[in-house]
Amino acid sequence: MASVTQQQIQKFHKDGFLVLEQFFSAEECDSMRSQIQRIVAEMEVPPHCRTAFSTREEEQLQEQGSSDYFLTSGDKIRFFFEKGVLDEKGNFLIPKEKSVSKIGHALHAYDPVFKQITHSPKVQELGRKLGLERPVVVQSMYIFKQPGIGGEVTPHQDATFLHTDPLGRILGFWIALEDATQENGCLWFIPGSHTNGITRRMVRAASGASTCVEFVGSEPAYDDQQFIPLPINKGGLILIHGEVVHKSELNSSECSRHAFTFHVMEAKGTTWSKENWLQPTPELPFPSLYT
């Protein structure tokens, strides 16, 4: 992997994202994929936890919000499912390894393979090149984007879910574990859209509310013409600014689009919102990216 240039870092600041092909080796990608196969093979899903995962706002509120399972997943390894893969009794209608939408949100802390990748020397070096002084890892997810049913992720900004004061302190690392193409649901971005702040936040609801989280504000209507696709090969890394607008389409192809992603916060001079769904816990304070 070639070292990141100042020119590339300037491009990141201008666009709000940066594509770094071949950042991880095929072997590193395969080690993550085989580790996740082991985790899924051992997956036990308590019936009350079988919430389908969705990104549409009402469904998000109804399914995640009513679900303590989601709210308390920040320091655990938990499973979220695609829509329509479970019957009303919570039994799988398709093989379970094809039913999972994502696994979150603490693989980086509790799984040796994902921990090693998250804190790998090249990731730490990239953090230093970007000028991060006290980066901490706030969450991680393994995303499956299953063939034929991998749902769309509507346009959003990560800072809607991971709010900081000031803004601009959240950075996503998105690693393609398989080639991501327009057919299987690669990411799309609006270049330069990270400079206008955010208009919507997902916050913890007041205790006693019918849902655990609620949305404050609304997502503006984005112009589809402004999005550009970012296909990327297996092993590639996309750096994602916390306020850049991005989305992915439904995966209608025969191929999955596995990715491992984690979010880092520059902790120096930054306050993590007490209203965020995700909170550090005594068991898992946000670990430093630098080891």
DSSP 228-249: EEE-B-TT-EEEEETT--EEE-
Measure the CA–CA gap between 270 and 286, rounded to whole angstroms.
13
**How confident is the model over 72-76, as a mean pLDDT?**
93
In the predicted structure, residue 184 carries a pLDDT above the cut 50: yes
Please tell me which residue, 25 or 43, carries the higher pLDDT value.
25
Per the structure, the complete domain to which residue 129 belongs is given by 6-272
- pLDDT for 2 equals 65
Instruction: Find, among 180, 280, 155, the residue nearest to 231 by Cα.
Output: 180
Provide the number of structural domains found in the chain.
1
In the predicted structure, residue 236 carries a pLDDT above the cut 60: yes
Please tell me which residue, 67 or 53, carries the higher pLDDT value.
67
Instruction: Find, among 161, 155, 137, the residue nearest to 244 by Cα.
Output: 155
- pLDDT for 150 equals 87
Does 287 fall in a domain? no
Measure the CA–CA gap between 106 and 244, rounded to whole angstroms.
23
Q: Is-above-0.85 flag for pTM?
A: yes
Does 280 fall in a domain? no
Question: Hey, what's the torsion of the CAs at 35, 36, 42, 47, to 10 degrees?
Answer: 160
In the predicted structure, residue 191 carries a pLDDT above the cut 50: yes
For residue 22, what is the domain's CATH number? 2.60.120.620
Q: Which single residue is written with the structure tokens 């509120």?
A: 61
Does 291 fall in a domain? no
Q: Which single residue is written with the structure tokens 């090149």?
A: 129
- pLDDT for 65 equals 43
Does 283 fall in a domain? no
Measure the CA–CA gap between 159 and 250, rounded to whole angstroms.
23
- pLDDT for 23 equals 98
- pLDDT for 50 equals 53
Does 220 fall in a domain? yes
In the predicted structure, residue 162 carries a pLDDT above the cut 80: yes
> Please, what's the b/e burial string for 9-41 (b: 16 or more CB within 10 A of its CB; e: otherwise)?
beebeebbbbbbeebbeeebbebbbebbeebbe
Does 247 fall in a domain? yes
- Partnered with residue 217 across adjacent β-strands are 200
Count CB-CB contacts under 10 A for residue 80.
Answer: 25
Does 30 fall in a domain? yes
In the predicted structure, residue 66 carries a pLDDT above the cut 50: no
In the predicted structure, residue 113 carries a pLDDT above the cut 50: yes
Residue type, 253: S
Span of 53-62, 89-98, 108-117, 166-175 with lowest mean pLDDT: 53-62
Does 288 fall in a domain? no
In the predicted structure, residue 264 carries a pLDDT above the cut 80: yes
Per-position DSSP letters for 11-75, written without gaps between them: HHHHHSEEEETT-S-HHHHHHHHHHHHHHHHT----GGG-PBP--SHHHIIIIIIT-HHHHT-TT
Measure the CA–CA gap between 226 and 6, rounded to whole angstroms.
26
- pLDDT for 47 equals 55
Q: How far, rounded to the nearest angstrom, does the alpha carbon of residue 71 sit from its chain's CA centroid?
A: 15
Measure the CA–CA gap between 64 and 78, rounded to whole angstroms.
13
Distance between terminal CA atoms of the chain?
A: 21
